[in-house]
């Protein structure tokens, strides 16, 4: 069942549909949207709705404009001031690439000679904007009518891009536009070798259920490749048919599902794991490899997996925890490169999550260092006693972003914080981690290692 959009009469706003986009692109809609206060304030939404209705604007236009005002405010975290010139859908904003990440995609395709990109599942057009700005001809396709209308608006003002940027409302696998797209090139020569990579396909399959939206207009996330749109078997087939291809999937993509011959990049930006990209054909410059691509120090840094198994020492009990705990960058952890970083740092593996430990602090791009003050039992009663003893007030509780295969189940961070109920004055941080098979999990009281520090706290 689809939940009805909330209307201005409710004091809220609903989903973005094609009619709403059409209203916003009228002269009245553009003027109204540009006149709204920034940032969006839900506390004044109801009174603002009434005021705008009294000025003669329709209920539908007011709802559409306030929805975009809210989305633009949210989008500023990802797009900066550029958000104020774009239109959004809720799902499209969440799945869209950050500008710096989209530029990374465009640079890879440009470096292998791509001149025309077919962006399938283009969403709000974030990647297509980067492709066009890199000088490529862009054909953007999305199966959702409202999303394709939003993308058409967002791609209309690309400064310095090619003259030809087209947006289709169609399914990625629709044969009508595929026939048009393939005119002028053939995927293989007679001997089976790839031609040049002048044409590429970029696939960003939808990872949310279609048609089932909550009251805010957001749909439910799906983690099953078969439930992607288009489904994984279609994605893989299409990627193999083009001279060069890139497929964007979630950062939690299972490494065991990697197709043969692809190059896989897990990407993090300012500490957030944002995606996994699979490169096919000419776009796979190192076929069969996996890497973590980390934005740090105002530049992109790449850690590529080494060949063969790596043998690293492991923690057996809490007594093996050193003076330093390393928290892996989430892209490094997702790419399965923990052992490689452990050998680089001379560290030991802690449990099955994203932690390492050592006896001295080393600077690294691939992990954040924490000084370990105390290893505590992971029991609420023991942690409450610790909080009273140390006069803990503001408490940060961290746990690995996802449970690793074979790892112990850890309590929810927010629920544990409520059970500890600290009421002191000192801020503190605890990291939750399993330790070793057969050993109870623990909470580690830590504080950050400043960069360049090599002595203990």
Q: For the chain, how many residues are written?
A: 457
Q: What's the pLDDT score for residue 183?
A: 54
Among 304, 326, 355, residue at a domain's last position: 304
Q: Compute the distance between CA of residue 351 and CA of residue 342 in angstroms, rounded to an integer.
A: 13
Q: What is the mean pLDDT of residues 237-257?
A: 88
Contacting residues for 63 by C-beta, under 8 A, at least 6 apart:
5, 6, 7, 8, 13, 14, 20, 49
Contact status, residue 398 vs residue 430, Cβ threshold 8 Å: yes
Instruction: Kindly tell me if the per-residue pLDDT of 311 is higher than 50.
Output: yes
Q: What is the mean pLDDT of residues 271-294?
A: 95
pLDDT, one tens digit per residue, over 27-73 is 999 999 999 998 999 999 899 999 999 999 999 999 999 999 999 99
Do 233 and 326 lie in a common domain? no
The beta-strand segments (E) located in 307-362 are 324-328, 348-350, 355-358
Contact status, residue 435 vs residue 350, Cβ threshold 8 Å: yes
* Two structure tokens written together for 167: 């947006």
Q: Compute the distance between CA of residue 12 and CA of residue 121 in angstroms, rounded to an integer.
A: 29
Identify the CA nearest to 280 among candidates 251, 231, 243, 226: 243
Contact status, residue 118 vs residue 164, Cβ threshold 8 Å: no
Q: What is the mean pLDDT of residues 207-222?
A: 54
* Two structure tokens written together for 444: 């580690």
Cα–Cα distances in Å, from 36 out to 45, 46, 268, 430?
A: 11, 13, 34, 42
Tell me the CATH number at 431: 3.30.2130
* CB atoms near residue 380 (< 10 Å): 15
Percent over 90 (pLDDT), the chain: 67
Q: What is the mean pLDDT of residues 342-355?
A: 94
326 falls in which pLDDT band (50, 70, 90)? Answer: very high
pLDDT, one tens digit per residue, over 88-98 is 999 999 999 99
12 falls in which pLDDT band (50, 70, 90)? Answer: very low
Contacting residues for 60 by C-beta, under 8 A, at least 6 apart:
19, 20, 23
Among 28, 48, 80, residue at a domain's last position: 80
Residue 454 counted as domain residue = no
Contacting residues for 295 by C-beta, under 8 A, at least 6 apart:
100, 267, 268, 269, 270, 301
Do 347 and 418 lie in a common domain? yes
Residue 187 DSSP code: S
Do 391 and 428 lie in a common domain? yes
Q: What's the pLDDT score for residue 16?
A: 86
Do 71 and 117 lie in a common domain? no
Average pLDDT taken over every residue of the chain: 86
Residue 195 counted as domain residue = yes
Task: Quote the distance between the C-alpha of residue 99 and its chain's center.
Answer: 12
Q: What's the pLDDT score for residue 189?
A: 41
Instruction: Provide the pairing of β-strand 324-328 with 348-350.
Output: unpaired
Q: What's the pLDDT score for residue 321?
A: 97
Q: What's the pLDDT score for residue 192?
A: 39
Q: What's the pLDDT score for residue 221?
A: 59
Instruction: Kindly tell me if the per-residue pLDDT of 316 is higher than 60.
Output: yes
Residue 105 counted as domain residue = yes
Q: Compute the distance between CA of residue 313 and CA of residue 349 in angstroms, rounded to an integer.
A: 6
Please count the structural domains in the chain: 3
Q: What's the pLDDT score for residue 140?
A: 92
230 falls in which pLDDT band (50, 70, 90)? Answer: confident
Do 160 and 42 lie in a common domain? no
Do 137 and 275 lie in a common domain? yes
Instruction: Kindly tell me if the per-residue pLDDT of 217 is higher than 70.
Output: no
Q: What's the pLDDT score for residue 280?
A: 95
* Two structure tokens written together for 108: 């890879």
Q: What's the pLDDT score for residue 160?
A: 53
Residue 313 counted as domain residue = no
Partnered with residue 312 across adjacent β-strands are none
Tell me the CATH number at 99: 3.40.50.150
Of 183 and 246, more confident: 246
Q: What's the pLDDT score for residue 364?
A: 93
* Two structure tokens written together for 421: 């109920």
Q: What's the pLDDT score for residue 454?
A: 46
Identify the CA nearest to 449 among candidates 383, 386, 367: 367
Instruction: Kindly tell me if the per-residue pLDDT of 401 is higher than 80.
Output: no
Of 268 and 163, more confident: 268
Contacting residues for 34 by C-beta, under 8 A, at least 6 apart:
none
Do 241 and 195 lie in a common domain? yes
Q: Compute the distance between CA of residue 193 and CA of residue 199 in angstroms, rounded to an integer.
A: 15
Identify the CA nearest to 345 among candidates 329, 330, 332, 356: 356
Do 154 and 68 lie in a common domain? no
Q: Compute the distance between CA of residue 421 and CA of residue 414 in angstroms, rounded to an integer.
A: 11
Q: What is the mean pLDDT of residues 146-153?
A: 93
Do 290 and 177 lie in a common domain? yes
* DSSP code per residue over 247-272: EEE-TT--GGGPPTT-EEEEEEETTE
Residue 73 counted as domain residue = yes
Residue 1 counted as domain residue = no
Residue 18 DSSP code: H
Q: Compute the distance between CA of residue 132 and CA of residue 112 in angstroms, rounded to an integer.
A: 16
Q: What is the mean pLDDT of residues 189-199?
A: 52
Residue 42 counted as domain residue = yes
List the domain range (segments joined by +) for residue 221. 93-304
Q: Compute the distance between CA of residue 261 and CA of residue 281 in angstroms, rounded to an integer.
A: 8
Contact status, residue 196 vs residue 185, Cβ threshold 8 Å: no
Do 326 and 424 lie in a common domain? yes
277 falls in which pLDDT band (50, 70, 90)? Answer: very high
Among 304, 331, 353, residue at a domain's last position: 304
Do 113 and 51 lie in a common domain? no
444 falls in which pLDDT band (50, 70, 90)? Answer: very high
The beta-strand segments (E) located in 171-241 are 199-203, 208-213, 219-221
Q: What is the mean pLDDT of residues 439-446?
A: 96
Q: What's the pLDDT score for residue 181?
A: 61
Residue 290 counted as domain residue = yes
Do 110 and 195 lie in a common domain? yes
Q: Which residue has the tokens 């696939």?
A: 203
């Amino acid at each position: 069942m689809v939940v009805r959009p909330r209307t201005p009469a409710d004091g809220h706003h609903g989903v973005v549909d094609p009619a709403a986009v059409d209203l916003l692109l009228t002269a009245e809609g553009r003027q109204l949207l540009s006149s709204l206060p920034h940032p969006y304030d839900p506390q004044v939404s109801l009174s603002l709705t009434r005021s705008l209705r009294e000025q003669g604007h329709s209920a539908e236009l007011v709802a559409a404009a306030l929805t975009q005002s809210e989305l633009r405010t949210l989008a500023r975290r990802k797009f900066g001031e550029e958000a104020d010139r774009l239109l959004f859908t809720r799902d499209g904003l969440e799945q869209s690439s950050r500008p710096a990440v989209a530029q990374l995609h465009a640079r890879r395709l440009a470096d292998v000679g791509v001149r025309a990109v077919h962006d399938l599942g283009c969403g709000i057009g974030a990647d297509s904007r980067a492709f066009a700005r890199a000088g490529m001809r862009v054909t953007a396709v999305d199966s959702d009518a409202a999303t394709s209308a939003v993308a058409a608006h967002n791609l209309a003002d690309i400064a310095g891009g090619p003259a030809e940027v087209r947006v289709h409302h169609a399914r990625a696998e629709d044969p009508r536009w595929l026939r048009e797209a393939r005119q002028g090139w053939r995927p293989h020569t007679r001997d089976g070798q790839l031609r040049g990579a002048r044409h590429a396909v970029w696939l960003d399959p939808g990872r949310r259920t279609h048609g089932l939206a909550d009251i805010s207009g957001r749909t439910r996330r799906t983690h099953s490749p078969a439930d992607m749109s288009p489904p994984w078997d279609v994605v893989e087939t299409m990627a193999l048919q083009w001279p060069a291809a890139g497929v964007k999937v979630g950062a939690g993509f299972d490494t065991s599902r990697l197709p043969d011959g692809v190059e896989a990049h897990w990407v993090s930006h300012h500490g957030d794991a944002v995606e996994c990209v699979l490169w096919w054909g000419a776009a796979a410059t190192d076929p069969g490899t996996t890497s973590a691509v980390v934005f740090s120090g105002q530049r992109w840094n790449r850690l590529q997996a080494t060949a063969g198994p790596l043998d690293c020492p492991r923690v057996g009990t809490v007594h093996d925890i050193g003076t330093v705990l390393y928290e892996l960058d989430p892209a490094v952890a997702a790419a399965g490169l923990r052992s490689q970083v452990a050998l680089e740092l001379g560290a030991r593996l802690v449990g099955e999550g994203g932690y390492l430990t050592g006896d001295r602090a080393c600077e690294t791009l691939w992990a954040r260092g924490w000084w370990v003050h105390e290893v505590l039992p992971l029991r609420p009663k023991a942690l409450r006693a610790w909080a009273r003893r140390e006069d803990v007030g503001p408490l940060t509780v961290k746990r690995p972003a996802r449970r690793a295969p074979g790892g112990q189940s850890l309590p929810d961070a927010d629920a544990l914080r409520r059970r500890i109920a600290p009421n002191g004055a000192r801020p503190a941080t605890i990291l939750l981690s399993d330790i070793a098979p057969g050993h109870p999990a623990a909470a580690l009281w830590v504080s950050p290692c400043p960069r360049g520090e090599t002595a203990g706290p």
